Amino acid sequence: MDEKQGFYVSGAQRQVSWASQIWLVLAEVGSAGQRREIMHNLRRHPPAIAMNTPYLRHHYIAALLQCGLREEAIAEIKAYWGAMINYGADTFWEIF
């Protein structure tokens, strides 16, 4: 883990993505405190490699819940999937 960035980095390019952070949290890499801090860092300093599908976002919700961040998970569900409903969706979209 790169302590300065507060994220795990990948490869020579030192890439940071939402997906890599989420999957490492779900795999329980690092301490519980580190995983919780990563989840907070995702909101404070979003990685350039974005999270733009409901598929990845549902893993994000699972990671929030695993870290004990229930209120944040509920708020994210309401904001993201609720926005689809506000746009008139009668099913959840594959990309949003």
Q: Which two tokens stand for residue 96?
A: 């949003």
Residue 93 has pLDDT above 90, yes or no: no
Task: Assess contact for 64 and 39: CB atoms under 8 A.
Answer: yes
Task: Please tell me the predicted confidence (pLDDT) of residue 3.
Answer: 85
What pLDDT does 75 receive?
98
pTM: 0.89
User: Which residues does 44 contact at the CB level (< 8 Å), separation at least 6?
Assistant: none
Tell me the per-residue pLDDT of 9-61, one tens digit each, with 9 for 90 and over: 988 989 999 999 999 999 999 999 999 999 999 999 999 898 989 999 999 99
Q: Is pLDDT above 90 for 87?
A: yes
Q: What share of the chain is helix, strand, coil (3-state, %, to 5)?
A: 55, 5, 40
Residues 6+ apart with CB under 8 A from 12: none
